[in-house]
Structure 1
């Protein structure tokens, strides 16, 4: 085995991708503006997972994992553009924090697309699996949502 391929200078940077979530986000010429995403490291993912654990209030020592908070935090961490941490952007939507911003800024279907893209850019799923996730998450109470 060639160890050289695993040395830091030889490893390619984390994958990046763009995804158009909706026709709602357009530039001045009316063209849809993509969200830009970049894969995060496992260290960052682990930090996010730990931050989403809460103390169990039923008397046991086992922590409770807040899945919804994790999905938002993981997805927000992958977004490079728009800058979800930008204070002006957050203020324009009346929220504080990147996770809160994507919660109010995106429709459920748009979030599903963004989450699927975040999983794909991090290498959790392939492009075809991402499509399946998008389609599954778009279902709302047994009916398709309209994009």
Structure 2
């Protein structure tokens, strides 16, 4: 295998899926916490999340600049990474009296649970990796 072939699409590891217990409040029939299923995403998906959370803001002199709503961006990032439960399910949204996956997350989770889920999603998607640590791992 040539060194360039390491980077071919067929040789790349697929997106990662992992279980994560977001809250102890959601339990199965046995009273055990139900794990959510999270997945990693591509930069293309991340870019879509970022673009959909970007608004054009008019500044001084009528100059329009793009501005990212960080809270909206992180909510979209979470929604794109959650496989289970299906946050886009209308019945689940109706049970909380909301419309939209982002609104559902905000309604169904406590602030600490939301933050924990966001941290896990960021880690799964490589946002918390220190490049110096990665370089040292490769060297060793």
Q: TM-score under structure 1 normalisation?
A: 0.81
Q: Deviations over 1:45-87 (max 9, x none)?
A: 0011011111214432112211110011111110000011111
**Alpha-carbon distance between aligned partners in 2 of 1:55 and 1:62, rounded to the nearest angstrom:** 6
Structure 2 stretches of 5 or more lacking a match?
130-140
**Alpha-carbon distance between aligned partners in 2 of 1:123 and 1:15, rounded to the nearest angstrom:** 11
SS in 2 for 1:63: strand
Q: Are the counterparts in 1 of residues 55 and 69 from structure 2 also a CA contact under 8 Å?
A: yes
What's 1:55 paired with?
56
Structure 1 moving runs of 4+ over 4 Å: none
What's 1:71 paired with?
74
- The number of equivalent residue pairs is 126
What's 2:95 paired with?
92
Structure 1 stretches of 5 or more lacking a match?
127-147
1:113 positional shift: 0.7
1:27 positional shift: 0.4
**1-10 vs 61-70, which moves further:** 1-10
Larger Rg belongs to: 2
